[in-house]
Amino acid sequence: MSDIRQSTARRCRRLDCVIDDDIRYRAVDSRDARFDGVFFTAVTSTGIYCRPSCPAVTPKRANCTFYPSAAAAQGAGFRACRRCRPDSVPGSPEWNHRADLVGRAMRLIGDGVVDREGVAGLAHRLGYSSRQLQRQLTAELGAGPIALARARRAQTARLLLQTTALPVTEIAFAAGFASVRQFNDTVREVYDRTPSGLRAEVTEGRRTATPAGGLTLRLAYRGAFDSDHLVDFLALRAVPGVEEVVPGGRPGVLTYRRTLALPYGHGIAEVDGLAPGEPRTRGWLDCRLFLTDLRDLPTAVQRLRILFDLDADPDAVDEQLGADPVLGALVRSRPGLRSPGHVDPHELAVRAVLGQQVTVGAARTLAGRLAEKYGTALPEPSGGLRLLFPSAASLAVADPEDFAMPAARRRALTGLCAALAEGVVRLDGGVDREAAAAELLALPGIGPWTVGYLRMRALADPDVFLPTDVGIRHGLTRLGAPGDPKSAARAAESWAPWRSYAVHRLWAGAAGDHSTGTQKEKQDA
């Protein structure tokens, strides 16, 4: 069986590989969790749909129909399996690397744009008509934007029903439904249960264990997960008052905590790393969310998934980079390294400019001062968290003298914030990466390093390399390879389409120990 899993996975990891139904069935027969979220299996004899790794008896091939999205399976009349809960799988890794219309649309739908702005608002953001958008999404995913957003609302409803004691009416509107009737009909159709029946599947004890005023949930991921690298990366850059890393509730576990500015309010997120000795392939991270408005739940979850790069396919990344003579030993020693994203692209853009030509520690200090001066204070502090990071609009009109940096960099920061606040430059998941890069480069003081860093983290581009970065040079030198920009760029050609992950490998190698902060992020002026 392991040979089947390996051969199937190898055939499907290439970006240009078309996964046919025979390959899909082999993945289902081997219960390969690496394909969870990539496609869904509908069983005509039972009327349910499952994730590929469902533990139930493998259905006959003649009874299987495959769908590219849960929404498509639901639209065809299939109900979600109660055993494997196919609506809670990691997202398809396609949306990490695809820059076409469908990929951009899926990122915006995941952030809740359809619920807040409607299909017309989604289409406007993407620069297409609603009809064109509907046609392309339906052709590729078997469902249009309304159906995809509806599937997202159904998942939120199930989570709230099974993890909180909130009244059903409150849950209906918190999940984004326009009416209680629409909520009831959707839950029955998707789960073959009434809302009260769905709630009854979970014991009362599990709900009361949720922290006061908060929600407990699991953030699913596929493959190996190097949580030590990711938590250390975030800890090095944690802005005082906005972020912190503290001991978790289990021995040896570190918890990343931060404030979130969300469409309807604000929140605090807590995400636990993995414990020492815990399987790197556990499959989920424990998370707790404290929100002022429950309508922000799906958006908060999506942004945390982006920050922790939870929809990546680490097997595909590690297979290619692990075969490289320069990076191979690093990859084999620490599988499952991720490329961290963001929870707010505007915040990340500000912090990227603060990090030009200074150490990570210095950039963190600058960001903390700005947060103290221009951030929004929480009604009540929570541990070390007191502030929401200042918005681009507030920094665009700030006194430049408050920015303790050279005059040229002050102008770069205020110019960038003004462009973001006015919409001249957009960094949301629906933008065209090439167009956004060109717009950024046109701004004074924004050079190739800053643009590349933002493409890698704010725009979730998995194939960015920073050849002039000091940390890249040190990382390559430690590996015995030339570190000059031309040699580095030439070596990185064979790492495509996963060069962002190679950057993090080299940064980690330059630091030697993830807990140190010796690398220096520098812009190519």
Q: What is the mean pLDDT of residues 55-60?
A: 94
Which pLDDT score, from 0 to 100, does residue 265 have?
96
Q: What is the mean pLDDT of residues 310-326?
A: 93
CB 288 within 8 A of CB 270: yes
pLDDT of 516 > 50? The answer is: no
Instruction: Identify the active-site residue in 296, 309, 344, 469.
Output: 469
At residue 4 the predicted structure's pLDDT band, cuts being 50, 70 and 90, is very low
pLDDT of 525 > 50? The answer is: no
Which pLDDT score, from 0 to 100, does residue 495 have?
96
Q: What is the mean pLDDT of residues 514-520?
A: 33
pLDDT of 515 > 50? The answer is: no
Q: What is the mean pLDDT of residues 453-461?
A: 94
CB 388 within 8 A of CB 375: yes
At residue 224 the predicted structure's pLDDT band, cuts being 50, 70 and 90, is very high
Which pLDDT score, from 0 to 100, does residue 15 have?
39
At residue 401 the predicted structure's pLDDT band, cuts being 50, 70 and 90, is confident
Q: How far is CA 205 from CA 164, 195, 202, 494, in A?
A: 11, 18, 8, 52
- Backbone phi and psi for residue 266, each to the nearest 5 degrees, phi listed first: -135, 170
Q: Which residues contact 354 (CB under 8 A, 6 or more apart)?
A: 363, 366, 367, 370, 405, 413
pLDDT of 467 > 90? The answer is: yes
Burial pattern 192-213, b for ≥16 Cβ within 10 A else e, equals ebebeebbeeeeeeebeeeeee
Please tell me which residue, 85 or 19, carries the higher pLDDT value: 85
Can you tell me the distance from the alpha carbon of 297 to that of 513, in angstroms, rounded to the nearest whole number?
Answer: 35
Assign 410 to helix, strand or coil. helix
Q: What is the mean pLDDT of residues 495-506?
A: 95
At residue 13 the predicted structure's pLDDT band, cuts being 50, 70 and 90, is very low
- Backbone phi and psi for residue 40, each to the nearest 5 degrees, phi listed first: -130, 145
Q: Which domains does the chain have, with CATH numbers?
A: 2-88 (3.40.10.10), 94-207 (1.10.10.60), 210-311 (3.30.310.20), 345-521 (1.10.340.30)
- Backbone phi and psi for residue 32, each to the nearest 5 degrees, phi listed first: -85, 105
Pairing of strands 266-272, 284-291: antiparallel
Which pLDDT score, from 0 to 100, does residue 18 have?
58
- What angle (nearest 5°) sits at the alpha carbon of residue 428, between those of residues 38 and 409? 135
Q: What is the mean pLDDT of residues 76-89?
A: 90
Can you tell me the distance from the alpha carbon of 352 to that of 523, in angstroms, rounded to the nearest whole number?
Answer: 9
* C-alpha Rg value of the chain to the nearest Å: 23
pLDDT of 518 > 60? The answer is: no
Which pLDDT score, from 0 to 100, does residue 8 have?
43
Q: Which residues contact 4 (CB under 8 A, 6 or more apart)?
A: 26, 29, 30
Instruction: Identify the active-site residue in 50, 64, 81, 287.
Output: 50
Lowest mean pLDDT among 82-91, 297-306, 347-356, 369-378: 82-91
pLDDT of 60 > 70? The answer is: yes
Average pLDDT along the chain: 89
Can you tell me the distance from the alpha carbon of 186 to that of 408, in angstroms, rounded to the nearest whole number?
Answer: 55
Which pLDDT score, from 0 to 100, does residue 1 have?
41
pLDDT of 375 > 90? The answer is: yes
Lowest mean pLDDT among 148-157, 294-303, 385-394, 400-409: 400-409
Q: How far is CA 465 from CA 94, 449, 477, 495, 514, in A?
A: 20, 9, 16, 9, 20
At residue 203 the predicted structure's pLDDT band, cuts being 50, 70 and 90, is low
pLDDT of 431 > 80? The answer is: yes
Lowest mean pLDDT among 43-47, 198-202, 239-243: 198-202
The full length of the chain comes to 525
Which pLDDT score, from 0 to 100, does residue 210 have?
55
Task: Give me the percent of the chain exceeding a pLDDT of 70.
Answer: 92
Listed residue (414, 402, 400, 478) closest to 444, CA to CA: 414
| Predicted confidence (pLDDT) per residue in 405-419, tens digit | 899 999 999 999 999
Q: What is the mean pLDDT of residues 479-504?
A: 94
Which pLDDT score, from 0 to 100, does residue 520 have?
37
Which pLDDT score, from 0 to 100, does residue 10 have?
47
Q: Which residues contact 253 (CB under 8 A, 6 or more apart)?
A: 247, 272, 273, 274, 275
Structure tokens at 373: 């001066």
| Predicted confidence (pLDDT) per residue in 278-304, tens digit | 988 888 999 999 999 999 999 999 999
Q: Please, how many CA atoms are within 13 Å of residue 22, restricted to the half-sphere of its CB?
A: 2
Structure tokens at 300: 């908060």
Q: What is the mean pLDDT of residues 461-480?
A: 94
Whether 469 sits among the annotated catalytic residues: the reply is yes
Q: What is the mean pLDDT of residues 399-410?
A: 87
Q: Which residues contact 452 (CB under 8 A, 6 or more apart)?
A: 464, 465, 466
Which pLDDT score, from 0 to 100, does residue 201 have?
83
Which residue carries 């990090």 as its tokens?
A: 355
Which pLDDT score, from 0 to 100, does residue 202 have?
75
Can you tell me the distance from the alpha carbon of 413 to that of 411, in angstroms, rounded to the nearest whole number?
Answer: 5
Assign 436 to helix, strand or coil. helix
Can you tell me the distance from the alpha carbon of 171 to that of 199, in angstroms, rounded to the nearest whole number?
Answer: 12
Lowest mean pLDDT among 114-118, 351-355, 400-404, 512-516: 512-516
19, 23, 24, 30 alpha-carbon torsion, rounded to 10°: -140
Can you tell me the distance from the alpha carbon of 200 to that of 194, in angstroms, rounded to the nearest whole number?
Answer: 10
